[in-house]
């Protein structure tokens, strides 16, 4: 596994993180004082959502993985698929978290 920090891949990473920011992913959901949920658990779940999305964005954009010595093949498609699943899952988890708190 290696990191490819070319300009187009960094642009994809910045675009993914920018879209997450525009959708409100980096805003901590507020918990009322008399709410059923504890603020510490909500902030921990929110942090896990952010880490999951950022890991998926890095997997989609800047990770390369080649296997084999003679006939090298790339596993980039699997990293893109994993990254899209991570980003989609964290976005849905964040939406469910916001609905449960509201």
pLDDT of residue 81: 96
Inter-CA distances, 72 with 1, 36, 80, Å: 13, 54, 18
Mean pLDDT computed over 57-75:
88
What's the rounded Cα separation, in Å, for the pair 19 and 35?
30
Q: What is the pTM of this model?
A: 0.87
Q: Give the per-residue pLDDT at 22.
A: 94
Contact 77, 20 (CB under 8 A): no
The domain containing residue 83 runs over which residues?
2-101
Please tell me the distance from the alpha carbon of residue 65 to that of residue 73, in angstroms, as a whole number.
8
Cα 39 from Cα 95, distance rounded (Å): 17
Give CA angle at 39 (38, 44), nearest 5°. 105
pLDDT band at 34 (very low <50, low <70, confident <90, very high): low
Confidence of residue 33 (pLDDT cuts 50, 70, 90): low
Number of domains forming the structure of the chain:
1
């Amino acid at each position: 596994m290696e990191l490819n920090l070319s300009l187009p891949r960094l642009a994809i990473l910045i675009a993914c993180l920018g879209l997450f920011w525009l959708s409100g992913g980096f805003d901590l959901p507020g918990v009322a004082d008399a709410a059923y949920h504890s603020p510490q658990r909500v902030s921990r779940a929110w942090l896990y959502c952010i880490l999951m999305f950022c890991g998926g964005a890095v997997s989609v954009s800047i990770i390369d993985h080649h296997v084999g010595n003679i006939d090298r093949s790339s596993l980039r498609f699997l990293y893109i698929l994993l990254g899209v699943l991570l980003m989609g899952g964290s976005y849905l988890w964040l939406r469910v978290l916001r609905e449960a708190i509201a």
